[in-house]
Amino acid sequence: MACAQKSATEYLRNARKDLVKHMKNLPLIIENLKQKNVFNDYNLNDLKAERTEFDKAECILDWVIKKGEMASEKFLEILDATKSKTLDPDLHPWISLFASRLEDTEANCPFGKAYIPNEGQTLSPEDLLKWQDKNILIIGKPGVGKTTVVQEMLHLWAEKDDREIDYMFYFDESVLAHNSVASLESLLFDVYIKPMDKDRKDVFQDIEENSDNVVIVFDGVTDLEENSILWKIMNHELLPDAKIVITCRSEVEDDPLFYDWPTRTVYVQGFSEESIKTYYQSMLGHDPVLLDVILKNQELFSLSHVPLYAFMIVDLIKFKNDTVCNHPHTVTEMYIHIFRLTVMTHGNLQNKQIDKYLKEKKDQIHPLMENAFNATMQKCLNLLDFSSHETDICHAFLKMITTTDSPTSATTYCAFLHNTMQEFFSALWLLGHPDEIEKVLQLCQTEEHKHMRHVLSFLCGLLSEHNIKLLKCLFPEDEIKKTSDWLIEKFLDTFLQPQSESEEFDLLYVCQCLYELQSHKACSMFLEKMDHRLEPEVDLDPHQCCALSYVIGQSRDKEVYVNLEDCNVTDVGMDMMLSCSPNIRY
Ligand SMILES: Nc1ncnc2c1ncn2[C@@H]1O[C@H](COP(=O)(O)OP(=O)(O)OP(=O)(O)O)[C@@H](O)[C@H]1O
């Protein structure tokens, strides 16, 4: 099974000694690493400074291993593809073994990085590719799989021999952040692909003249500056017949940017119940006890419809003990454990050493929190002011992105491996700066800063009593408690106000924050303010049902009236609602 095998990083680490001596043709390896975005310009420059081939080989291996699993996998793929030129024959069986393992994994295990189809899903990425519509908007909550859907579209397109579309361009948030891109040509050719200089003009002309053969994907739009190149593409002022696919989070759907954008809208739902079961069966089937823990735990199961959470659960469940299984599972707690696990792996530590190590590294971690917060406030994923040494602990959470600014210059930014991690770090910063919380509460009510709500729900989770022991190595315990004491009432007062005359307050968001906070007192206060009547009026996904039933379950002596007349609720969701039945009246 894929999960029982050695990781690519381990595979490399074990062979490091032999590779340092027996890798050949280093320039070819380096060029490939550059093309696959494993190495950036800084790495190349630093390598030039190494004097001997041996030193260079050591550097290459150490950097790749440090850059993590994906980099190691790409490196091994390069070695396999070029082995006749780059590896001593003695190492050919070693690399072939890795290559066959990859094929085996892909054939037998449809998961890992592969796209997981939902049973009975009404639409597939293939359908989206075939649609004739010129504008497609893909919407969903964080981590539910929007990026994965568009990447699967790209993958399907790249695999096709008889393509109907000639060009497909994908731009992620780090590119979208550069509203100032100078021209269409530089956007298309300077970010990822560069046609040979001699062809560049012809290719560009072909794209412009036959824009009906072009698909442009903007992944993770938050806003686009009016009249920027990106805005003009979206509105078909440039490449008038191109198909534009945009992904955004649910709260951005109502942004004025999309008011006049005639569009076909697709909502990404995440894993279906069937997909969740198949996924866990494939990852944990070898351990029926663990498998059972998840499948029978309604909260964990409901969280798993967000694929990102399902992946985290698999990693965390291995550390299961009675406490792990016997208390409610919040999203924030999973992030705290992932944070601590990353620290543990980076420092090569044992579990019991993590707190001490974190205390020692506080000075490195706090600037990362601050940078995350500032970048999130500005809806930016590149940490513009952040610099730290490659060996710092912070790099365990970051990837490097290099953008070419001109033919002779490039800029390298740090960015979090996933944007939800950036939001988690932003919440950590707020936890250490309680004076700023009230301002953020107010800002969240504005269109411009609505996105900060994701940070606040993490903040609620960080304030949960259960999590304090995991955080007190970074923040004083009494400060966390003090913040928690005053925040509840402020939070409820702020969020229970309708956002505008036409818009009700967001009941489900408030319930999710209360679930993260895990406080009976806060739930009672909320139910009191609601007069024990809840009317969601929208379809509920399993995790929303989990939060809602938790809040209802906190009403000890009063029944809560819940009106589900206008809601669709999944079976898992309904089970959870019914499990708090003594407190509920329909
Ligand atoms: N259908 C799927 N099959 C396999 N993996 C998936 C699927 N959907 C999501 N994932 C995995 O879940 C993680 C999060 O997905 P993704 O980045 O696509 O979410 P997102 O909706 O774009 O999140 P955000 O709004 O935070 O950008 C990724 O690691 C991705 O590989």
Q: What is the CATH number of the domain that holds 209?
A: 3.40.50.300
| Closest residue CA from atom 23 of ligand 1 | 143
Assess if residue 22 is contained within a domain: yes
Please tell me whether residues 104 and 129 are part of one structural domain: no
Nearest atom, ligand 1, residue 310 CA: 12
Q: Does 186 map to a domain?
A: yes
More confident site: 385 or 553: 553
Residues 506 and 586 in one domain: yes
Q: Confirm whether 432 is domain-assigned.
A: no
Does some domain include residue 327?
A: no
Range in 228-232, 248-252, 319-323, 474-478 with the lowest mean pLDDT? 319-323
Query: Has residue 220 been placed in a domain?
Result: yes
pLDDT tens by residue, 408-440: 777 777 888 888 999 999 999 999 999 999 999
83 and 200: one domain?
Answer: no
Handedness of CA 184, 186, 192, 193 (dihedral sign): positive
- Helix ranges restricted to H, 433-541: 437-443, 453-463, 465-471, 477-495, 507-517, 520-529
Assign 319 a pLDDT band (cuts: 50, 70, 90): confident
Q: How far is CA 523 from CA 510, 529, 553, in A?
A: 10, 10, 9
Pocket probe mutation, ligand 1, options 308, 315, 424, 541, max atoms within 8 Å of Cβ: 308
User: Residue 107 has what pLDDT?
Assistant: 38
pLDDT over 70, % of the chain = 88
Residues contacting ligand 1 via CB (< 6 Å): 115-116, 140, 142-148, 220, 249, 307-308, 419-420
Which structural domain, as residue segments, surrounds residue 214?
A: 125-267
User: For all residues of the chain together, what is the average pLDDT?
Assistant: 84
**Pair (228, 103) in one structural domain:** no
Please work out, in degrees rounded to the nearest 5, the angle formed at the alpha carbon of residue 44 by the alpha carbons of 343 and 370: 35
pLDDT, tens digit, 9 for 90 and up, residues 10-22: 888 888 888 988 8
**∠ CA 234-237-243 to the nearest 5 degrees?**
45
Are both 260 and 140 inside the same structural domain?
yes
pLDDT at 222: 84
Closest ligand 1 atom to residue 148 Cα is: 18
Q: Work out whether the CA dihedral 122, 126, 128, 133 comes out positive or negative.
A: negative
Same domain, 148 and 193: yes
Give the pLDDT confidence score for residue 175 in this predicted structure.
Answer: 73
Q: Which of 513, 467, 285, 115 is nearest to 294 (CA)?
A: 285
Handedness of CA 322, 328, 332, 335 (dihedral sign): positive
How many domains does the chain fold into? 3
98, 227: one domain: no
Residue 327 pLDDT greater than 70, yes or no: no
pLDDT by residue (tens digit) across 158-188?
887 766 778 899 988 777 776 667 788 888 8
* Coil, helix or strand at residue 503: coil
For ligand 1, pick from 126, 139, 148, 272 the residue to mutate: most ligand atoms within 8 Å of CB. 148
Q: What pairing do the DSSP bridges indicate for beta strands 560-562 and 584-585?
A: parallel
Q: What is the reported pLDDT for 88?
A: 84
Ligand 1 centre to CA of 272 (Å) is: 14
CB atoms within 10 A of CB 65: 18
pLDDT tens by residue, 238-279: 999 999 999 999 888 888 888 888 888 999 988 888 889 888
Instruction: Quote the pLDDT of residue 584.
Output: 65
Of 75 and 104, the one with more pLDDT: 75
Q: What ipTM does this complex have?
A: 0.97
Longest distance between any two alpha carbons in the chain, whole Å: 78
- Is 139 found in the same domain as 81? no
Query: What's the distance, CA 102 to chain centroid?
Result: 24
- Domain end call among 57, 79, 108: 108
d(CA 521, CA 506): 20
Q: Is residue 524 part of a domain?
A: yes
For residue 524, what are the CA distances in angstroms to 485, 506, 521, 546?
14, 18, 5, 17
The answer to whether residue 534 is domain-embedded is: yes
Whole-number pLDDT of residue 427 = 98
* Of 267, 285, 311, the domain-final residue: 267
* Average pLDDT score over residue span 473-498: 91
In a domain, 468, yes or no: no
DSSP per residue, 30-43: HHHHHHTTSS-HHH
Report whether 184 contacts 229 (CB < 8 A). yes
User: Are 130 and 94 contained in the same domain?
Assistant: no
Rounded Cα distance between 30 and 49, Å, is 14
Shared domain for 38 and 155, answered yes or no, is no
| Paired tokens of 585 | 């009246």
Is the model's pLDDT at 112 over the cut of 50? no
Encode pLDDT of 555-581 as tens digits.
888 888 888 887 888 777 888 888 776
Same domain, 38 and 144: no
Going from the Cα of 149 to the center of ligand 1, the distance in angstroms, rounded, reads 8
Which of 54, 79, 108 is where one domain is finished?
A: 108
User: If pLDDT is split at 50, 70 and 90, which confidence band does 325 have?
Assistant: low
Q: Are residues 94 and 143 located together in one domain of the fold?
A: no
Q: What is the CATH number of the domain that holds 63?
A: 1.10.533.10
How many CB atoms lie under 10 A from the CB of residue 110? 14
pLDDT value at residue 71:
87
Q: Which helix (H) or strand (E) holds 138?
A: strand 135-140
Q: Which phi and psi (to 5°) does residue 410 adopt?
A: -145, 155
